[in-house]
Each structure stands twice: as structure tokens, then as C-alpha cells.
Amino acid sequence: MTFDSQAYAVQLLDKVRRLRDLLAPFDAPEPAVFDSPLEHFRLRAEFRLWREAGERHYAMFSQDDKRTPILIEQFPIASLRINQLMPQLKAAWQASAPLSHKLFQVEFLTTLADDAMITLCYHRPLDEHWHTAASKLASDLGVSIIGRSKGKREVIGHDYVVEKLDVGGRTFSYRQPEGAFTQPNGTVNQKMLNWAFDALGERNDDLLELYCGNGNFTLPLATRVRKVLATEISKTSVNAALSNLSENAVDNVTLVRLSAEELTQALNEVRPFRRLHGIDLKSYEFASVFVDPPRAGMDPDTCELTRRFDNILYISCNPETLAANIAQLHDTHRITRCAMFDQFPWTHHMESGVLLTRR
């Protein structure tokens, strides 16, 4: 399969126009544009398995038809490592009853650093025969294997992959756990991190970060400020972020497992939280806030909270909710930088970023 670079250029321009139109009411500067590789850009993939002619095949379904499978041998938008592993894994389950029996789903997670993990999902309990076969498979393929069955999990190797990303002249190492959110397009993620690193600039005050995930942005941004207070609600992501902070010797970050809404209540002194015990919120000299919210954007109270900061650095996976949040902030802040990151080529989705500065 070949990808049409001209078609991609047209699609990219359409996304830039869409972002430009959404931000036009706020006098936004022309967005910087960060494109994607045309193929092998996606670091994770998930397939159902479909039996046909007595054999299991990788399968996907269109959004319009959840009943008719699209059988797949290769997946060109996925990383080279995933495409190398797909036929090897298929040959392994075809040759092994313990691996294939009631196997219904397969998930791949890879990194730019060439680490890989495969999750095998079953409609049956996993026994010692499965463990023996899966251990050999993990060794043969040079990957970690996760077996999932009715809420139980067997881990062979690690339950995470390790990514390495270069930001601001330094290489950061990231532990990315199985089942947790990670940016799917590693190449564009690295561009996004460098843009945010440059947009924040070097400062001698403090940063508040909401929705920090596994510390994707936290690690490089922490090197630009005096100290960081970061929040995240997912326990898996918090544990990964703490590990990543330790692994990279980033020691100026305090991480709290609170939602953005809960932190807003804490800063507004609406109510105390036990998870903030021992943390003096008033000791921080916040001048900047970094947010990377879910598709719904920031709720009105959290959006109002960000108004307190001189600088709002905002990464968004939904330009419509980004524009809605900016509309709430436009009377006190103006867009001084913006960017479009093509995390999801060949779809209408995009990531965007803005730096809002107090008027």
C-alpha cells in the first residue's frame, strides 16, 4: 500500500484552515504546523480476531458497520515493529492450541525506542500450558506478553514499555503502562513536547499542571521552572508518572492524585483534601498553568481557575472545545502562540496548542 503525499498535503491544509477559522475570533497568530510521517506513525493498535475458514484473522470494523469484519494482514499506519510482529504472532497462535484457544483480541504497544508489548485477551482462564507457550513466545519475539482473562492478568516480562524522547537537548525516558493512555503518534508527540518546552520558556517561578497523565509533558516542562504542582486522577498514570520522575531524576515536582475539578476546589478553599496533607499550596509562586484536558475540554470552573495565571499553555485534542474555553478567557488573555500537530493523519482529528498571555 502506498500513501499519496499530495492527498496528505491537502488534508493537512484543511486541518490548518479549520483551526485558523476556529481561532480567528480571538486574533490568533498564524499556527505553526507540525506534520506527521505518512505511514508507520501509530505506536499502538488493537485488533479483534475473526474466524473464517477455520482460521483466526486480525480484524477491524468500520464505524458504520460493526458486524462486517475487515480482515487485515498488515496495518501500514502502525509502526514497523507492529507490522513485523503481526505475522509472527499469527503464526505462533496457529501453531499453538494453548495460545489460540478462545483468543478473541490482540493489542500491540510499541515505542520509538523499539520496545514492544503484546496483550492477548481470552474468553477462558489461563493455565500453566498457556504460561509455558506465552513465555516461549515472549522470548522468541523479544517482547513482553500480557494475558487477560475475566478480570485476571498474567504478565510475562514487564507490564509496560519504555519510550525515549528528545526534548530541549535532553533525552527523557518514559515508562508507559499497559492499558494506560499514551500519545499514539510518537514522532508528533516529540514535536509537541518541544513546542511546549519552547513556548513556556525558562522561568524562575512555579508551574501548575492539570491532567498530567504519565508525565509526558511534566518531565521536560519541570526543567523550565522552579517547581511544579501536577495533578492526575488515574492511579495507573500517577504511578507511572512517579516512576518516570524518579527515573529521570526530576525532583522539583509534587504530584497529587486529584481531578482538575477537585484541585480547583482546594485552591478556592472550598474544602480540604486528605491527599493534599503536608502540601502548602500557598508556598507556590504560580505564574503559569499547563493543561492537556480530555476531548470535552475544561469545565467552566477549571477554566475560570486558569484565568488567575499570567500564562496558560493549553494542548487540546478537540479544537472546538479549545475555542469554547478560549472564548471564556478572551477578555483577560490573548493568544500569543498557536500550533497544529497532526497526531492523527488520514482522519479529521488533530491536536492543537496555544499559549495565552494575560493582557
Cβ–Cβ under 8 Å, residues 351 and 192: yes
Chain-centroid distance of CA 251 in Å reads 23
Chain-centroid distance of CA 324 in Å reads 22
Pick the catalytic residue: 39, 163, 209, 351?
A: 351
How large is the average pLDDT for residues 228-243? Answer: 93
Does the pLDDT at position 87 exceed 90?
yes
| Alpha-carbon gap, residue 62 to 72, rounded angstroms | 13
Write down the pLDDT at residue 204: 96
| Alpha-carbon gap, residue 317 to 315, rounded angstroms | 7
Cβ–Cβ under 8 Å, residues 149 and 125: yes
351 included as an active-site residue? yes
For residue 157, give the DSSP letter: S
Does the pLDDT at position 2 exceed 80?
no
| Alpha-carbon gap, residue 165 to 178, rounded angstroms | 19
In the chain, the percentage of residues whose pLDDT exceeds 90 is 85
Locus of grid cell 509537541: 192
CA nearest neighbour of 37 among 75, 67, 77? 77
How do 32-34 and 333-341 pair as beta strands? parallel
| Alpha-carbon gap, residue 173 to 215, rounded angstroms | 10
How large is the average pLDDT for residues 305-332? Answer: 96
How large is the average pLDDT for residues 9-16? Answer: 97
Write down the pLDDT at residue 54: 83
Does the pLDDT at position 358 exceed 70?
yes
| Alpha-carbon gap, residue 208 to 298, rounded angstroms | 15
Residues forming beta bridges with residue 121, ordered by sequence position: 105, 148
Write down the pLDDT at residue 53: 82
Does the pLDDT at position 248 exceed 90?
yes
pLDDT in tens, 188-209: 999 999 999 999 999 999 999 9
Pick the catalytic residue: 212, 303, 317, 338?
A: 317
Q: Which three cell numbers stand for residue 97?
A: 492450541
CA nearest neighbour of 263 among 221, 291, 227? 291
Does the pLDDT at position 1 exceed 70?
no
pLDDT band at 331 (very low <50, low <70, confident <90, very high): very high
User: Which residues define the annotated binding site for S-adenosyl-L-methionine?
Assistant: 183, 211, 216, 232, 292
Does the pLDDT at position 272 exceed 90?
no
Write down the pLDDT at residue 180: 87
Write down the pLDDT at residue 139: 98
pLDDT band at 66 (very low <50, low <70, confident <90, very high): confident
| Residues 224-263: b if buried by 16+ CB within 10 A, e if exposed | bbebbbbbbbbebbbbbbebbbeebebeebebbbbbbebb
Q: Which three cell numbers stand for residue 209?
A: 499542571
Q: Is 221 helix (H, G, I), strand (E, B) or coil?
A: helix
Q: What is the mean pLDDT of the chain?
A: 95
| Alpha-carbon gap, residue 193 to 52, rounded angstroms | 44
pLDDT in tens, 135-181: 999 999 999 999 999 989 999 999 999 999 999 999 999 999 998 88
Write down the pLDDT at residue 22: 97
